[in-house]
Amino acid sequence: MSSTEPRRTALDATHRALGATMTDFAGWDMPLRYGSEREEHVAVRTRAGLFDLSHMGEITVTGPQAAELLNFALVGNIGTVKPGRARYTMICREDGGILDDLIVYRLDDTSAHYMVVANASNAQVVLDALTGRAAGFDAEVRDDRDAYALLAVQGPESPGILASLTDADLDGLKYYAGLPGTVAGVPALIARTGYTGEDGFELFVKPEHAVELWQALTKAGEGAGLVPCGLSCRDTLRLEAGMPLYGNELSTALTPFDAGLGRVVKFEKEGDFVGRAALTEAASRAEQNPPRVLVGLVAEGRRVPRSGYQVVAGGEVIGEVTSGAPSPTLGKPIAMAYVDPAHAAPGTEGVGVDIRGSHEPYEVVALPFYKRQK
Write the DSSP string, 214-246: HHHHHHHTGGGTEEE--HHHHHHHHHHTT---B
* Cα 228 from Cα 43, distance rounded (Å): 9
Question: Would you place residue 110 in the very low, low, confident or very high pLDDT band (cuts 50, 70, 90)?
Answer: confident
Residue 205 has pLDDT above 70, yes or no: yes
The residue-averaged pLDDT of 314-318 equals 96
Question: Would you place residue 108 in the very low, low, confident or very high pLDDT band (cuts 50, 70, 90)?
Answer: confident
The residue-averaged pLDDT of 254-263 equals 97
Residue 2 has pLDDT above 70, yes or no: no
DSSP 141-155: EEE-TTT-EEEEEES
Express each pLDDT in 336-356 by its tens digit. 999 999 999 999 999 999 999
* Cα 267 from Cα 52, distance rounded (Å): 36
Express each pLDDT in 54-64 by its tens digit. 999 999 999 99
Residue 1 has pLDDT above 60, yes or no: no
* Residue 287: exposure state from Cβ atoms within 10 A (0-12, 13-18, ≥19): exposed
Do β-strands 7-8 and 28-33 pair in parallel, antiparallel, or remain unpaired?
parallel
Q: What is the DSSP letter of 313?
A: E
Q: 79: helix, coil or strand?
A: helix
* Cα 134 from Cα 42, distance rounded (Å): 44
Q: What is the pTM of this model?
A: 0.96
Express each pLDDT in 60-99 by its tens digit. 999 999 999 999 999 999 999 999 999 999 999 999 999 9
**Predicted local distance difference test score (pLDDT) of residue 3:** 58
The residue-averaged pLDDT of 292-307 equals 97
Counted residue by residue, the chain has a size of 374
Q: What percent of the chain has pLDDT over 90?
A: 97
Q: Which residues contact 321 (CB under 8 A, 6 or more apart)?
A: 297, 305, 306, 307, 308, 309, 310, 311, 335, 336, 337, 353
CA 250 to chain centre: 11
Provide the mean pLDDT of the chain: 97
